[in-house]
Amino acid sequence: MTVTSPISKPMQRFRSNRRQRILWGIAWCALLLVAMILSPWVIGDDGLSPVLVQRNQPPSLVHAFGTDWLGRDMLSRSLHGMSLSLRIGLLAAGISALIGTGLGLAAGTLGGWVDAVVTWIIDVFFSLPHLVLLILIAFAVGGGTTGVIIAVAVTHWTSLARVIRAEVLQVNSSDYVRLSYRFGRSPIWIARHHMVPHVIPQLLVGLILLFPHAILHEAALSFIGIGLSPHIPAIGIILAESMRHLSTGYWWLGVMPGLLLLLSVKAFDWLGENVRSLLDPKTSQG
Amino acid sequence: MLSISNLGITFTQYDQGLRRKQLTVITDLDLTIQAGEVVAVMGASGSGKSLLAHALLGILPDNAQLSGTMEFQGEPLTPKRCEALRGKAIALIPQSVGYLDPLMTVGRQVQRVGQLNGLSSGAARTLANRTFARYDLPPTTRQRYPFQLSGGMARRVLVSTAVLTQAQLVIADEPTPGLHPDVVTETLNHLRELAREGRGVMLITHDIEAALQVADRVAVFYAGTTVEIAAAEDFARGNLRHPYTQALWRSLPQNDFVPVPGNQPSPENLPVGCLYRDRCAWVTSECEQARPELRFVRQGWVRCIHAER
Amino acid sequence: MLKGEGLWFRYGARLPWVVRDRTLSVLPGEVVGLMAPSGYGKTTLGKLLAGYLMPTRGRVTLNKQLLPSRGYCPVQLVFQNPELSVNPRWRIARILREGHPPQRHYLDALGIYPGLMTRYPHELSGGELQRVAIARVLNRNTRYLIADEMTAMLDANTQALIWKVVLEFACQHHVGVMAISHDRPLLTRICQGHTIKLLIDSIPASLAKA
């Protein structure tokens, strides 16, 4: 009865410190994104001017992303475009998160008709095709950078508002909050000490996961031509231009900026998932 | 049929920031269950009852490590084998309807258990109907959703899920708290019946009365160790061996209703020597030397060096 | 005296009644046991008396006045499941401070040692957590205590310990206790030596006389 033998080899295998790995991952993603945003100021505008002798070169050591039909360096163009897209995405997602939090909190705490109205607006937004709505709003406010920001900002808050409303309702009906009322705590005290700490992690994760949506939609609007003006190197415009050249064999004009867009969206997605797994006490121990 | 000896479970947890610590929650856990027998596993919360069930079902979290031996029907029980046997040879009767799918009728869920055990959908349905009839559940029960069941009906539905399997070992996790005494008796009778069919039943509970009502043997856990395995009759007969079991028995409202002072030690600072020594009336300097081995005293197993008293 | 008069309750105008015409009272220093079959609405009754729910009809009075809606409620309810009645993101010390900080000797009596203070609820066993939840309400401002299956999830030893402390507290401060449980031996035991009012399977009319 005293013989001790391991039951499970696989479960005892050495595991590197998961929390450490996640933190490194978060750091790398954040670094990558910050680098992308700041890159235009680092590399300067040189690559944006046409050099006609270097037209249509495939990717090489000198031009990692190749050059376009005017001899412009695609790497500089893509980075400039990506940086702009990220900045617009951040701004739009930030505004969206503010609207979402405000309305979600209002719906959850005030209840009654406020809740009904907010839920109704959310339902309306959900029932309309997202891209159509984006195009309509961007068009209605006159297009351009402002148009894109407004359109993206006012259409992305709904899912976050819904999550926050649900969280607030859940916490509000929990035994411990109701007990807090019976202990004589005021609604404001309860909101500050019970609600806010509960909602902030949700907000943070929701905000991070909003970025990729906002960026993709900004790119989509520019792609179809109602976003930024054509001479600004936005990622959507670069991709739209490349369409005309893809059939002629200049694959790098679309593939390389596309990969860059994919990479940054994925980085945000990964960042959000990992921040979530760290903040959630249920998964943070694994 | 099931034999567990010197089982240990250790968790790797994050302390502050990035430091990790090892937390041994279960040390030296022993238990055997024969076919046709109901064994109650009893102890305070935090004594390791539920973790044992999780280990048997292979649903411990990833940061857990096992040591010791678990054998089921003569073969070692590895996490992989647990997974293969789960829901088939080893079945769980969950604590509440909260463990059922709230969006599926109970009839379909019970039927699905049969199908997962290799029956055709027709055969599974017939068997499900027969099982419901056996437990006096009206035919309309099959169309109900979990939230529409009363406490007693819910218990019978949960028992049905285990009956439908060919499980040799049935684990019932805390089936009694907060239920009306009649429902408790009914639930326990169902467990007895499962044992009569030749299955082994492990009843996890903190309710001494319920355990004694139905169990053949009672294993008492304390701070992650088995301190005593006694026959159910030993309680009323005053033939208990371990001071903790005796204290538990005395603290029942129908007995003395007197608690033992002190706390079950937390896994973070388990004392050297006997785990119960800081609350024990029999403690001597020998108790501080080493953890007592499980010994056979007066027809039962006990982990105490003074058990002959 | 804490009194519920002609209490009716349902969750919505079209939903069935959960509590129908119940009248009952608890005197200061008295221990009342309530044991009734499922469907009696015991838990809802407890919530009505503690002011967690407002009765659809009837009223709950404390010394002939309605329960205060602000400030520390003199009627406190202890739930069956301690995991739900504490904020999972708070440390134990903060949880204990939320009401009126409990007196040192109650903490000692309940076996809440200083090492627990810096931990989070999920690091405690159910028994330890329930003792924390109970320590929160053991203060002079609690005049009535409603214990809804307070120890149903706990082992016999912890159950005996908790009730010993709670009954001592009730006796010392002249606090009225209503214990809701399915455990007949337990209710018989804790009502001993007090005004016994064991409402087992009783009909509303007989409660009204109490």
What is the enclosing helix (H) or strand (E) of B82?
Answer: helix B79-85
Which superfamily does B2-89+167-272 belong to? P-loop containing nucleotide triphosphate hydrolases (3.40.50.300)
The tens place of each residue's pLDDT in chain B, 309 residues long, gives 899 999 999 888 776 666 677 888 888 899 999 999 999 999 888 888 888 998 998 888 888 888 999 999 988 988 889 888 888 889 998 887 778 888 889 989 999 888 888 888 899 999 899 888 888 888 888 888 888 877 778 888 888 888 888 889 999 988 887 777 887 888 899 899 999 999 999 999 988 988 999 999 999 999 989 999 999 999 999 899 999 999 999 999 999 899 988 888 888 788 888 999 989 989 999 999 888 999 999 999 999 999 887
How many Å separate Cα B110 from the centre of its chain? 22
Tell me if chain A has a CB within 8 Å of the CB of C168.
no
pLDDT at A14: 41
- Least confident range from A149-153, B194-198, B211-215, C202-206: namely C202-206
Torsions phi, psi of A111, nearest 5?
65, -155
Q: Which residues of C touch B150 (CB under 8 A)?
A: 38-39
The DSSP string of B157-195 is HHHHHHHTS--SEEEEES--TT--HHHHHHHHHHHHHHH
Give C57's strand partners.
C8
Are A180 and C98 inside 8 Å of each other by CB? Answer: yes
Question: How large is the average pLDDT for residues A86-104?
Answer: 86
Residue whose token pair is 């009852």: B49
Q: Domain ranges in chain B?
A: 2-89+167-272
Q: How far apart are the C-alpha atoms of A233 and B273, rounded to whole Å?
A: 73
Task: Say which amino acid occupies A108.
Answer: G
> Which pLDDT tens digit goes with each residue over A256-272?
888 888 888 888 888 88
User: Tokens standing for A248?
Assistant: 């002629």
pLDDT at A281: 59
pLDDT at A3: 39
Distances in Å between the alpha carbon of A117 and those of A104, A111, A120, A163?
A: 11, 10, 5, 16
Angle at A154 between CA A152 and CA A156, to 5 degrees: 65
Among the listed residues C162, C128, C127, C126, the one whose alpha carbon sits nearest the alpha carbon of residue C147 = C162
Q: Considering only the beta carbons, identify the residue of A8, A17, A286 that sits closest to B78.
A: A8
- Percent residues over pLDDT 90 in chain A: 4
Angle at C152 between CA B34 and CA C113, to 5 degrees: 100
Tell me if chain A has a CB within 8 Å of the CB of C138.
no
Angle, in degrees to the nearest 10, between helices B106-116 and B121-134:
120
Around Cβ A201, how many Cβ atoms within 10 Å? 17
pLDDT at C158: 92
User: Tokens standing for B65?
Assistant: 């490590």
Q: How far apart are the C-alpha atoms of C58 and C51, rounded to whole Å?
A: 13
pLDDT at B226: 93
- What is the gyration radius of the CA atoms in chain A, in angstroms? 24
- CA atoms within 13 A of residue C13's CA, in its CB half-sphere: 0
C-beta of residue B217 within 8 angstroms of C-beta of residue B37: yes
Among C91, C98, C130, most A C-beta atoms within 10 A, so best to mutate, is: C98
Q: How far apart are the C-alpha atoms of A199 and A109, rounded to whole Å?
A: 12
Residue whose token pair is 């009363």: B150
Residues of chain A with a CB closer than 8 angstroms to some CB in chain C:
174-176, 178-180, 182-185, 194, 197-198, 281
Q: Considering only the beta carbons, identify the residue of B12, B65, B67 that sits closest to A4.
A: B67
Q: Say yes or no to pLDDT of C210 above 70.
A: no
Cα maximum dimension of chain A? 84
Are B6 and A2 inside 8 Å of each other by CB? Answer: yes
Q: Say yes or no to pLDDT of C207 above 60.
A: no
- Reported as a pLDDT band with limits 50, 70 and 90, residue C38 is low
Q: Which residues of B touch C111 (CB under 8 A)?
A: 261-263
User: pLDDT higher for A181 or C203?
Assistant: A181
Catalogue all structural domains in chain A, each as residue range(s) with its CATH number. 34-42+70-279 (1.10.3720.10)
Are B206 and C125 inside 8 Å of each other by CB? Answer: no
Q: How far apart are the C-alpha atoms of A280 and A22, rounded to whole Å?
A: 13
- Which three-class secondary structure state does DSSP give residue C50? coil
H-helix segments, C7-58: 42-49
Q: Say yes or no to pLDDT of A10 above 70.
A: no
* A185-192 contacts, C-beta under 8 A, 24 or more apart: A185/C98, A187/A109, A191/A109
- Reported as a pLDDT band with limits 50, 70 and 90, residue C195 is low
Are A8 and B30 inside 8 Å of each other by CB? Answer: no
Q: Say yes or no to pLDDT of A4 above 80.
A: no
What's the ipTM?
0.86
C-beta of residue C130 within 8 angstroms of C-beta of residue C162: yes
Q: How far apart are the C-alpha atoms of C165 and C173, rounded to whole Å?
A: 12
- Least confident range from A101-115, A167-181, B273-287, C151-165: namely A101-115
Q: Which residues of A touch C85 (CB under 8 A)?
A: 175-176, 179
Q: How far apart are the C-alpha atoms of A210 and A143, rounded to whole Å?
A: 22
Q: How far apart are the C-alpha atoms of A90 and A104, rounded to whole Å?
A: 20
User: Tokens standing for B145?
Assistant: 């959703």
Q: Which residue of A has its CA nearest to C99?
A: A183
The DSSP string of chain A is ------S-HHHHS----HHHHHHHHHHHHHHHHHHHHHHHHHH-SGGGS--GGGTTPPS-SSSTT-B-TT--BHHHHHHHHHHHHHHHHHHHHHHHHHHHHHHHHHHHHH-HHHHHHHHHHHHHHHHS-HHHHHHHHHHHTTSHHHHHHHHHHHHSHHHHHHHHHHHHHHHHTSHHHHHHHHTT--HHHHIIIIIHHHHHHHHHHHHHHHHHHHHHHHHHHHHTTSSS-TTS--HHHHHHHHHHHHTTT-THHHHHHHHHHHHHHHHHHHHHHHHHHHH-TTTTT-
User: pLDDT higher for A12 or C125?
Assistant: C125
Are B79 and A12 inside 8 Å of each other by CB? Answer: no
C-beta of residue C23 within 8 angstroms of C-beta of residue C208: yes
Torsions phi, psi of A132, nearest 5?
-60, -45
Residue whose token pair is 């003006």: A229
Q: Which residues of C touch A180 (CB under 8 A)?
A: 98
Q: Considering only the beta carbons, identify the residue of B5, B14, B65 that sits closest to A285.
A: B14
User: Tokens standing for A274?
Assistant: 């990992």
In eight-state DSSP terms, residue C82 is G
Contact partners for chain C, using 3 or more CB pairs closer than 8 A, are A, B
Are C125 and B44 inside 8 Å of each other by CB? Answer: yes
Size of chain B, expressed as the number of residues it contains: 309
Contact partners for chain B, using 3 or more CB pairs closer than 8 A, are A, C
Sheet containing strand B2-14, edge to edge, reads: B20-33, B2-14, B64-72, B75-76
Q: Say yes or no to pLDDT of C176 above 50.
A: yes
Q: Considering only the beta carbons, identify the residue of B8, B14, B79 that sits closest to A19.
A: B14
- CA atoms within 13 A of residue B33's CA, in its CB half-sphere: 29
- Which three-class secondary structure state does DSSP give residue C68? coil
Torsions phi, psi of A211, nearest 5?
-50, -55
User: Tokens standing for A142?
Assistant: 């006159």
pLDDT at B301: 93
C-beta of residue A253 within 8 angstroms of C-beta of residue A245: yes
pLDDT at A236: 79
Are A11 and B79 inside 8 Å of each other by CB? Answer: yes
Among A167, A170, A172, A175, most C C-beta atoms within 10 A, so best to mutate, is: A175
Distances in Å between the alpha carbon of B248 and those of A36, B208, B220, C59, C182?
A: 66, 8, 10, 42, 20
CATH match for C2-209 among 3.10.129.10, 3.20.20.70, 1.10.10.10, 3.40.50.300: 3.40.50.300
Q: How far apart are the C-alpha atoms of B15 and B21, rounded to whole Å?
A: 6
Sheet containing strand C196-200, edge to edge, reads: C75-78, C144-148, C176-180, C31-35, C196-200
